[in-house]
Chains A and B, each alone.
Chain A
Amino acid sequence: MMFSLLVWFALWEIVGRLGLVFLIPPFTEVMLAMIDVVTSSRFAEAATITLQAFAIGMALALTVGIGTGFLMGRVRAIGQLMGMWVNIFESSPMTAIVPALMALLGFGLPTMVFTVFIFSVWVIALDTQVGVERVSTSLVEMGRSFGASRRDLHLKIIFFAALPEILAGVRLGLIRGAKGVVIGQLLIAVVGVGYLFELYSRSFSMPEFWALLIIVFAFAFMASEAIAHLERRVAFYATSR
């Protein structure tokens, strides 16, 4: 099915050659520009800081998100108390908060890390909560009946029973985190790939712009597919829990 992309690339080439939209250069030019972009030192710098922010932000979001989700799923009162906030922020445009982060934390790595965090943590916590709540009581009772410690109960039983939902949340969190790092950088404008996008679009270097876009898209897509792969690996038991 992915072969249809080849058709799209062919269309892209035609549209570009015909000069139909001045913003869209031929696909082949974009591919050539990609080599220039990737080998430039600006890109290396931008990629480094972007990946740093993304990695740290996601690590924080995963720890806090999964941990909180567990808590919310196991203790009903906490689930109700915090659930309200998590739900509110999960469906609100976190983009609006970024200017406040910039005012508070400046224009550097901390703001970007925090942006990634606030974009992704809510959906991770929410899906983890759902997964933990749905764990069959029978399995938990089974663990208790054989004398499982709390640690064993949580790590050996509840975690695996909730894993399909947790992974679904992680994948959505990764996607949102990637959106966050890009949006954050677009708003900050002087760092990372956001800066590069600004640069290329201001100087009308369209092939470079699209090349960078494809690179960023490809990265986000691959990260999401990596988790989707894990999801497929646990699918065999997801339906028979």
Chain B
Amino acid sequence: MTDHAGKSVRADAAAASVDGGPEPVIRVVDVAKEYPGGVQALGGVSFDVPAGELTSIIGPSGCGKTTTLKMIAGLVEPTAGQILVQDRVVRGPGPERAFVFQDFALMPWATVLRNVAFGLELRGVPRKRREAIAREHIARINLTGFEQAYPHQLSGGMRQRVGLARALAVDADILLMDEPFASVDEQIRRKFQEDLLMLLSEEHKTVVFVTHSIEEAVYVSDQIVILTRGPGRVSKVVRPEIERDGSPDEIRRNPGYLDAVEHIWSDLRSYLET
């Protein structure tokens, strides 16, 4: 397992990759967030997200993981520092980034079909085309037949899939996922992790994934950014190079995998206990 401490990158540096790997498509540069009243949620966070990989952000609750993700999404403005996506400073949301919400954020008055097509609807894609695209993605998440259902008729897992389909339908380069599997049953959660990995192997998107489960992070990620709290800072960036041969169950029992999880756990424990 290799690791290296998060480095701060100067904003005007040329887009050179840090260690010779894939180019960073997202660069978080010394970003801080203070709320009125003096609450400092983040105190100087820096890390890179390489293109085409899945980077997760983990840490104890209150460390600012979701805030960081929303800043990458352009939904929250940093009070210091900046974020570069595809070499451009983030000033708000953009078509190259799609967000998957923890509480699904589905419009309860709209059908599944309309919800999935919503991102396209906002872009002015004509109805027939956007509904066709939506149906494709509804099929990919295995909800064919539920196009005319309403969110209140669906289970939590199904709602989450709708949110995911909506984000996929706009065909963004970057997927930002905020604890997407937190509100879902354990068995379904594992299946979703598999499905996500399979989807990504077909799509070549960059994913930034916030989770509070270390196990989940180690299982799905190419890179893990560990944040600590009070105020949030990057404590480590880790690349869990686990063996991905064998079935999912075999992977989860693999000593290398278990070591990786244990290692991160003990690192975090010291921060949890302060």
Contacts and interface: CB of A to CB of B under 8 A. Distances in A.
**Are any A and B Cβ atoms less than 8 Å apart in their complex?**
yes
Interface of A: 136, 138-139, 141-149, 152, 156-157, 160-161, 163, 234, 236-237, 239-241
**Chain B, interface SS category:** loop
Interface of B: 70, 73-75, 92-95, 97-99, 101, 103, 105, 107-109, 118-119, 121-123, 150-152, 166, 170
Given A141-B101, A142-B101, A237-B152, A147 B94 contact: yes
**Chain A, interface SS category:** helix
A146 B98 contact: yes
B118 A236 contact: no
B155 to A, nearest CB: 13
Contacts, number: 65
Contacts of B108: 236-237, 240-241
Contacts of B92: 144
A152 B123 CA distance: 10
Nearest to A237: B108
A138 B75 contact: no
Given A145-B98, A161-B107, 19 more contacts: A136-B105, A138-B101, A138-B103, A141-B75, A143-B122, A144-B75, A144-B92, A144-B93, A145-B93, A146-B93, A146-B122, A147-B94, A147-B95, A157-B107, A236-B108, A236-B152, A237-B109, A237-B151, A240-B152
Contacts of A145: 73-75, 93, 97-99
Contacts of A161: 107
Contacts of B119: 146-147
Contacts of B103: 136, 138
A148 B109 contact: no
Nearest to A164: B109
Given A141-B70, A146-B93, A160-B109, A237 B150 contact: yes
